[in-house]
Structure 1
Amino acid sequence: MLDSFLGLPAHPLIVHAPVVLVPLASLGLLVLLLRPAWRPRYAGLLLVGLVAAALGAIAAAVSGNAFAERVGLPVSHQSYGTALAAVSVALAVAGGSWLWLVRREREASPRLTTLGWTAGAVSLIAIVLVGLTGHSGATAAWASATPSSSGTGSPSFTLGDVAGHATQDSCWAAVDDGVYDLTGWIDRHPGGQARILALCGTDATAAFQDQHDSDDRPQEQLAQFRIGDLLG
């Protein structure tokens, strides 16, 4: 249901909702905690923001799972996104309960104070998770992007150069006459991280051909990670 919108993948569009609403609602809650005089005026608006933020985070998580079926599963991004959806719901419940007590009790009480600062702590966690989720998503999407070469030809690398990039943080592999930066594909590979990590820093031609033979789709996916030619 949340797979596409107007012919485009829905997830890159939907993620803008929690990216904006979760921090905004979280900061709004913290402001009302610190400024009691503003609570009567802005409590209703904040409640709407908390609910909208939670719904946006849930929609982003659901659409992200659908998007992963097309492009592969970015494990860390999915984990952070799922956690963000859960924390956003918890924030809406805790913040909404606190706002209800604010309207009901009027005067400060230990219960009101405890619930308020609990909601405040959850809001800080939500803000951190927005950053972690966004960063992991950007890494999965753009880690393999490299600036264009200033020369007229493609950069060239030796197998020694490739061998120097054999970690999860910098994973290169040689296939046929090309060199590929697979760092951004590690978390997204449908077969799991181990399949790609085993290729880091190696000539992966035989392994790639044995696994995929003449299948066009893996060839097309591999091509987007090419960073240069293999010398020798």
Structure 2
Amino acid sequence: MVKAEHISKTFGNLQVLKDVALNVKKGEVVSIVGQSGAGKTTLLQILGTLDMPDNNAQAQLTINGKSLTGLKSKLLSAFRNEHIGFIFQFHQLLPEFTAMENVCIPAFIAKKDKAPTEARAKELLDFLGLSHRYDHKPNELSGGEQQRVAVARALINNPALILADEPSGNLDTESADHLHKLFFRLRDEFNQTLIIVTHNEELADMADRKLVMKDGEFVNN
């Protein structure tokens, strides 16, 4: 599902990633842990095509059978919208839109028809226990509900891969526990592939595989 090879990243004189390699199978949940500054988020951004690795003839990134190395920005954006879903620590919902509208945005960007998109959004919100929140705006939702709306938004285009960066870092213990269990429901019921960067050891230990990053490298890959 995900194959990354020889991924390095340098900012000025600081090398944040050092020849990283990563392979993730379809339906696998992989957690990445490590101290702040280890390179976890930088790697996730590169895997999500939000950033580019250092120019290196050996660097390769393949997701869902598609080689992304050297693709132009417009093609990368289209691939990202269709094949990758993102969940961040802060939900990044647009405050002026309802839960339903927020979930639909990635599909509308992909120029999908309104009726099937809204039907899919309702299915996802129902699955996430938010059938009573379609028309509520983010400020009318709890933190846990906001994050579940963000999960629905990440799933609206049926992506091959979900990337999550500290997804429960802003939640109370109960909401975080619900979110963690949700990730594994997605794996079990939809064969969803997830890569999760987290400082939450409980979540990290639940994953099929836990990778530790230190000084820009995996120490147990």
TM-score calculated relative to the size of structure 1: 0.24
The structure with more radius of gyration:
1
Q: Which has the higher contact order (CA 8 A, sep 6+)?
A: 2
Considering fraction of residues, name the structure with more strand. Answer: 2
TM-score calculated relative to the size of structure 2: 0.25
